[in-house]
């Protein structure tokens, strides 16, 4: 076999440029992170060659005895991380995991009470553009004017609509969730409880945020983001739901699992069980709080009043730019964030009022409080000089100087 650069120099060159971009820039999209070289090795392993429809010990193909070992190891480690009764590690990502839960536990037309997208929820929590919104009746709750979940209002909505499921979780909300209150409301109306912890799974695993697993019927997550594993999904549930969940994933919605990804999940779960991961999670939150303080002091309007986790959602329109303009300016300055809608945003999703940024990836590189102060200054400079290409290039060179002190994948090349 020839290596990549010899056989396909075009693809290798693009990968090399992407590696340079990651090395030289500040990755601040809160749903992105840098996996370890051990995770990369497992992800590119020979496990990709094996078809393994079914589950450990119950496969439809032969030759799965070692694949069973890998998947069983991933499951055992994930159970230990979250204190789970049952885990399915086969979902290909977070969205399919959510769809599998709906398919397993609900019937078409059933009502689901979930967070509104513009208030921090996720597309798969019932946004009208998704196919799931055509199958299930989603009712969306919002945050209050001060940016918090109003549990009294959630209770009133549950009494009024009598949903079959209450969904707690988010993709752009920056505060803690009081799962006990959600559980009490669900119990009162006889609803199934579901939590989507895709963004905060690593913080929960490290004990830095509340864990819904002991309370809720089912919990879904991605395995990247703060958990710092490969891109993939996972479903955690009570033993009573095991059969329905497993059947919904396979054969209900997926075929053969991606066992190379599951091998990489197993490695990431082992890393998350290490004491150093707890320190990493603490630093993620500490870094986010510094960014909160520094940006607030510069007059930025922080949604939800600040952060309890790894991310910040910021209204940039008072600074004279839109979210899309801020994203572009920051990108030119070597700082990667994403444009994002704010609660009840009057602007469109492709050119919203806000930006979303977070600290998982830059914390993985070893950056701490002093670096956060400098980064907050660069963010402000870039936004305030969004149309000044010379200034943005200058910031980019300064960013490159900082990232050079925090090497990324020093042994990797294409």
Phi-psi label, residue 173: left if phi above 0, alpha if psi -120 to 50, beta otherwise: beta
Q: Which of 51, 151, 409, 414 is catalytic?
A: 51
Catalytic site residue from 24, 32, 53, 178: 53
Largest CA distance in the chain: 64
- Cα distance between residue 397 and residue 402, in whole Å: 9
Contact 273/77 with Cβ under 8 angstroms? Answer: yes
Q: Which of 157, 30, 120 minimizes the C-alpha distance to 345?
A: 120
319 in active site: no
Phi-psi region of 355 (alpha: psi -120 to 50; beta: other; left: phi over 0): beta
pLDDT at 384: 98
**Is there a catalytic annotation at residue 20?**
no
Q: For residue 348, what are its two tokens? A: 């469109």
The tens place of each residue's pLDDT in the chain, 414 residues long, gives 569 999 999 999 999 999 999 999 999 999 999 999 999 999 999 999 999 999 999 999 999 999 999 999 999 999 999 999 999 999 999 999 999 999 999 999 999 999 876 666 777 777 778 888 899 999 988 887 667 888 999 999 999 999 999 999 887 889 999 999 999 999 999 999 999 999 999 999 999 999 999 999 999 999 999 999 999 999 999 999 999 999 999 999 999 999 999 999 999 999 999 999 999 999 999 999 999 999 999 999 999 999 999 999 999 999 999 999 999 999 999 999 999 999 889 999 999 999 999 999 999 999 999 999 999 999 999 999 999 999 999 999 999 999 999 999 999 998
Residue 21 has, within 13 A of its CA and on its CB side, a CA count of 12
Of residues 27, 116, 196, 208, which has the active-site annotation?
Answer: 196
Tokens for 13, please give them.
């060159």
Q: What is the 3-state secondary structure (H, E, C) of 330-375?
A: HHHCCEECEEECCCCCCCECCECCEEEEECHHHHHCCCCHHHHHHH
- Which structural domains are found in the chain, ordered by start? 40-272 (3.40.640.10), 278-403 (3.90.1150.10)
Neighbour order of strands in the sheet with 338-340:
301-302, 311-315, 354-358, 338-340
- Determine whether 317 is an active site residue: no
Residue 231 annotated in active site: yes
The closest of 183, 157, 198, 161 to 31, measured between CA atoms, is: 198
CB 44 within 8 A of CB 260: yes
Whether 280 sits among the annotated catalytic residues: the reply is no
Q: Residue 269's pLDDT is what?
A: 98
Residue 17 catalytic? Answer: no
């Amino acid at each position: 076999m020839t290596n990549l650069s010899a056989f396909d120099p075009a693809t290798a060159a693009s990968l090399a440029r992407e590696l340079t971009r990651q090395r030289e820039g500040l990755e601040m999209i809160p749903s992105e992170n840098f996996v370890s070289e051990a995770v990369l090795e497992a992800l590119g392993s020979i496990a990709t060659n094996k078809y393994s429809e079914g589950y450990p010990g119950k496969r439809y193909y032969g030759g799965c005895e070692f694949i069973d070992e890998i998947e069983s190891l991933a499951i055992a480690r994930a159970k230990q991380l979250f204190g789970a009764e049952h885990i399915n590690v086969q979902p290909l990502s977070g969205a399919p995991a959510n769809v599998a839960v709906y398919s397993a536990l609900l019937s078409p037309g059933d009502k689901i009470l979930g967070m509104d997208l513009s208030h921090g929820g996720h597309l798969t929590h019932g946004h009208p553009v998704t196919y799931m919104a055509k199958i299930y009746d989603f009712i969306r709750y919002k945050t209050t004017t001060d940016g918090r979940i109003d549990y009294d209002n959630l209770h009133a909505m549950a009494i009024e609509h009598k949903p079959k499921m209450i969904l707690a979780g988010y993709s752009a909300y920056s505060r803690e969730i009081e799962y006990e209150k959600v559980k009490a409301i669900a119990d009162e109306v006889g609803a199934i409880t579901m939590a989507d912890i895709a963004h905060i799974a690593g913080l929960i695993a490290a004990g830095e945020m509340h864990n819904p697993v002991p309370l809720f019927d089912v919990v879904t997550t991605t395995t990247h983001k703060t958990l710092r594993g490969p891109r993939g999904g996972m479903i955690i549930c009570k033993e009573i739901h095991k059969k329905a969940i497993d059947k919904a994933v396979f054969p209900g919605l997926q075929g053969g699992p991606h066992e190379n990804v599951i091998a990489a999940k197993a490695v990431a779960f082992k890393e998350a069980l290490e004491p150093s991961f707890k320190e990493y999670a603490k630093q993620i939150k500490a870094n986010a709080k510094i960014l909160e303080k520094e940006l607030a002091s510069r007059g930025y309007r922080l949604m939800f009043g600040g952060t309890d986790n790894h991310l910040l959602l910021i209204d940039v329109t008072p600074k004279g730019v839109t979210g899309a303009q801020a994203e572009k300016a920051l990108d030119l300055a070597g700082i990667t964030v994403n444009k994002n809608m704010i609660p009840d945003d009057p602007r469109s999703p492709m050119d919203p009022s806000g930006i979303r940024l977070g600290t998982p990836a830059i914390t993985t590189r070893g950056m701490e409080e002093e670096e956060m102060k400098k980064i907050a200054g660069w963010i402000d400079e870039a936004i305030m000089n969004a149309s000044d290409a010379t200034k943005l290039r200058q910031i980019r060179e300064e960013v490159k100087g900082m990232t050079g002190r925090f090497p990324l994948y020093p042994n990797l090349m294409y």
